[in-house]
Amino acid sequence: MKLDALVFDAYGTLFDVHSVMRRCETCWPGKGAALSAAWRAKQLEYTWQRSLMRAYRPFSEVTRDALEHSCQALGLALSPAQRDELMGEYLRLALFPDVALQGLPGKKAILSNGSPDMLDPLVKQSGLRFDAVLSVDELKIYKPAPEVYALAVGRLGVPARRIGFVSSNCWDALGAKAFGFNVFWINRNGAPVDRLGVQPDAILKSLGDLPEVLR
């Protein structure tokens, strides 16, 4: 397929949100994996709830609130210093080993739920280069709202049918497909496709498989 732009999700696709697990484990030995999983799940849940409630708050606040709730739910005492340390981990999340953007065609952009105070430092420290780094903070609503995907069309000046959207989050991939993008779901864990009435154009095991699909 001929594409003029590739748009990437950030959290969970390029950057491993569970790289915070080591810091979680340092704070609460034996609880790091449980906290990381609960934190991510509650973070996503809050974005969807706030969108439906039309009660937007920046992703940094959502992430902090999700951390505090998860610690309370797991019975973990969270000090202000620990909270700040764990939030700081989101500014230096690890890249997945399969992330390699060299040689991919067209414009490249990030379209993320992340607020600029979290997203901009993260992208800067990664060394990755993009034509645009787009945040839902402009619109005050989270993915998978259609207007979020339309933000990429307007900013890149490329019609939806000529944009490839890449995400490891199935709900995000299918939201992008419902909008009209060509969608590549990075299914690293072999999960089934969500039953939402649409299908990704391609299901890949790794970001490293993307160049072959685009030939």
Residues with catalytic roles: 9
Q: What is the SS3 assignment for 152?
A: helix
CA end-to-end span of the chain? 8
Compute, in degrees rounded to 10, the torsion defined by CA atoms 142, 143, 146, 151: 80
Q: How far apart are CA 111 and CA 99, in angstroms?
A: 16
The DSSP 8-state label assigned to residue 166 in this structure reads E
Token digits for 33?
């994996």
- Cis amide prior to 159 (ω within 30 degrees): no
Q: How far apart are CA 19 and CA 163, in angstroms?
A: 29
| Greatest CA separation for the chain | 52
